[in-house]
């Protein structure tokens, strides 16, 4: 109960109606509906909400879920839509080592003559030659295959 008092959820009448409509009509992801129901249950504008364990049992969620939704509501500044929807990632977690220049160098290498003793390029042979080239970062053979497939390059 102490964590609910730390971050009270107070909804306006309009937000409350919107959440009720969202949970009862239309097709929405289950996680959005679940968070909307949690917000409705935690709402303090209609009076004191039930204890945390009672709400968790009624909605079939954990007490931690209640705490996280209340925390996210407080962090979003009371924005209901930002609380119930999924947060979008700003950037990918790791930048791709394959840039336009790397891709062009890789395609040029794949289109060149294979080394002596080989009839054609293979992905593993390209991987070995990429490791020897200083301008191109080390790439796995599966990454090389993806780049070539994306550009419709066929190893002959």
| Number of domains comprising the chain | 2
Contact 67, 55 (CB under 8 A): no
Domain end call among 26, 59, 84 = 84
Rounded to whole angstroms, how far apart are CA atoms 84 and 31?
8
pLDDT at 5: 60
> Do 78 and 121 reside in the same domain of the chain?
no
pLDDT at 70: 92
> Do 63 and 39 reside in the same domain of the chain?
yes
Helix boundaries (H) for the chain: 2-6, 13-24, 30-42, 52-59, 63-75, 80-84, 100-111, 123-132, 141-150
pLDDT in tens, the chain (156 residues): 444 467 888 899 999 999 999 999 988 999 999 999 999 999 988 778 888 889 999 999 999 999 999 999 999 998 999 999 988 888 878 888 899 999 999 999 999 999 999 999 999 999 999 999 888 899 999 999 999 999 998 887
Sign of CA dihedral 32, 38, 40, 44: negative
Domain residue limits at 49: 2-84
- Examine residue 10 and state whether it is found in any structural domain, yes or no: yes
Domain end call among 41, 60, 84 = 84
Domain end call among 54, 84, 114 = 84
> Do 77 and 145 reside in the same domain of the chain?
no
Residue 154 φ/ψ, nearest 5 degrees: -115, 130
């Amino acid at each position: 109960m102490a964590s609910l008092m730390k971050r009270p959820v107070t909804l306006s009448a309009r937000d409350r109606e919107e959440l009720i409509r969202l949970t009862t009509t239309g097709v929405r992801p289950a996680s959005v509906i679940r968070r909307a129901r949690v917000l409705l249950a935690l709402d303090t504008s209609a009076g004191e909400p039930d204890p945390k364990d009672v709400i968790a049992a009624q909605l079939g969620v954990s007490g931690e879920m209640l705490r996280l939704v209340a925390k996210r509501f407080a962090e979003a500044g009371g924005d209901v839509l930002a609380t119930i929807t999924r947060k979008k990632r700003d950037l990918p977690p790791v930048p791709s080592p394959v840039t336009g220049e790397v891709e062009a160098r890789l395609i040029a290498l794949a289109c060149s003559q294979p080394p002596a003793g080989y009839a054609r390029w293979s992905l593993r042979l390209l991987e070995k030659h990429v490791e020897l080239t200083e301008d191109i970062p080390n790439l796995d053979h599966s990454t090389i295959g993806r780049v070539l497939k994306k550009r419709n390059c066929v190893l002959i």
